[in-house]
């Protein structure tokens, strides 16, 4: 097997229980190198839980998770989280650190000499010129700008994998569209394998190579957007598309 054949992320029969409830009930999903897979589904369907299995913030009760071909259980969780970019809905910036320092967090933790330069490069990439924004505090930014910093922080680590948990979920429609565009351009340029959790089917169809629909901890269908729209595999997927008024373009 060549390096190229190794799947970036793979979940195989993953089960996660919280008491009696099963947040994940036998989920299998593979993300190829450079691919973006969107995870969609209603609130509570297990999207965040599945995402967090990939960086060991959640440990499955059964099944297997592989990261770049290796069993996640054999990988050091701290090292794994520094290697995989992770962005949440609220961005998770440190409020008492400047924008520049927030963006430099991971290379700084790794004691890399060029942490500051990497942070500046990443800030510029997401449309926040460091000379203008670098010395600000998170509270001095808009919600959209804070999410840009969160994405810059993930990119400054030069990750080969990105996990995004509703990264644009709390933004107004215009800012959201702007950031979707930033994300699209970044992906085209960097080709980082990405799992994007979103409850917005339009966003999924716009940004992802494939869409996985989760329902009560199970995957109903995984397909490229055009195929999902043209041939919903179940009544549930059909209804979900219908309710979101997503139509083939
Ligand atoms: P989603 O991200 O799709 O909204 P989650 O993955 O957050 O869904 O949650 C899936 C299910 O697991 C929900 O029923 C939720 O209440 C439950 N759950 C998630 N995390 C925990 C936890 N730490 N303790 C107990 N139940 C949890
Ligand atoms: Mg969630």
CA angle 130, 150, 39 (to 5 degrees): 145
For residue 186, the domain's CATH number is 3.40.50.300
Output the CA torsion sign for 14, 17, 18, 23: positive
Nearest listed ligand to the Cα of residue 45: 1
The structural domain count of the chain equals 2
The answer to whether residues 169 and 150 belong to one domain is no
DSSP type of residue 44 = T
DSSP 165-192: ESTTTTS-HHHHHHHHHHHHHHHHHH--
Is the Cβ atom of 221 under 6 angstroms away from ligand 1? Answer: no
Q: Whose CA is nearest to atom 22 of ligand 1?
A: 18
Tens of pLDDT along 47-86? 999 999 999 999 999 999 999 999 999 999 998 988 899 9
- Centroid of ligand 2 to alpha carbon of 196 (angstroms): 11
What is the per-residue pLDDT for 189? 86
| Low-confidence winner among 13-17, 80-84, 233-237 (lowest mean pLDDT) | 80-84
Beta bridge partners of 38: 196, 211
> Ligand 2 centroid vs 4 CA: distance in angstroms?
31
Q: What is the mean pLDDT of residues 26-30?
A: 98
What pLDDT does 247 receive? 67
190 and 150 part of one domain: no
pTM beyond cutoff 0.85:
yes
**Same-domain check for residues 99 and 168:** no
Q: Would the CB of 41 count as within 6 Å of ligand 1?
A: yes
**Is the model's pLDDT at 168 over the cut of 60?**
yes
Same domain for 165 and 146? no
Which range marks the domain in which residue 100 is found?
A: 92-158
What are the backbone dihedrals phi and psi of residue 96, each rounded to the nearest 5 degrees, phi first?
-100, 15
21 and 49 inside one domain: yes
Residues 11 and 102 in one domain: no
Residue 90: how many CA atoms within 13 Å on its side-chain side?
A: 5
């Amino acid at each position: 097997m060549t390096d190229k054949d190794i799947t970036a992320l793979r979940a195989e029969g993953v089960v996660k229980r919280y008491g009696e409830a099963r947040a994940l009930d036998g989920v299998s999903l593979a993300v190829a190198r450079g691919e973006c897979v969107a995870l969609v589904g209603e609130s509570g369907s297990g999207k965040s839980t599945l995402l967090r299995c990939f960086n060991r913030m959640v440990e499955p009760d059964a099944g297997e998770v592989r990261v770049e071909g290796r069993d996640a259980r054999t990988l050091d969780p701290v090292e794994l989280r520094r290697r995989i970019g992770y962005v949440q809905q609220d961005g998770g910036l440190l409020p008492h650190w400047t924008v520049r320092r927030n963006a430099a967090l991971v290379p700084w933790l790794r004691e890399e000499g060029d942490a500051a330069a990497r942070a500046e490069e990443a800030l510029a990439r997401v449309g926040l010129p460091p000379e203008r924004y670098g010395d600000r505090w998170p509270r001095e930014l808009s919600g959209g700008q804070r999410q840009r910093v969160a994405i810059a922080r993930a990119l400054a680590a030069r990750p080969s994998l990105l996990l995004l948990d509703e990264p644009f979920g709390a933004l107004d429609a215009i800012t959201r569209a702007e950031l979707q565009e930033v994300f699209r351009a970044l992906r085209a340029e960097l080709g980082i394998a990405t799992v994007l959790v979103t409850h917005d089917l339009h966003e999924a169809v716009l940004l992802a190579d494939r869409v996985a629909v989760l329902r009560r901890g199970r995957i109903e269908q995984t397909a490229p957007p055009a195929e999902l729209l043209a041939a919903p595999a179940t009544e549930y997927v059909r209804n979900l598309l219908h309710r979101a008024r997503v139509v083939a373009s």
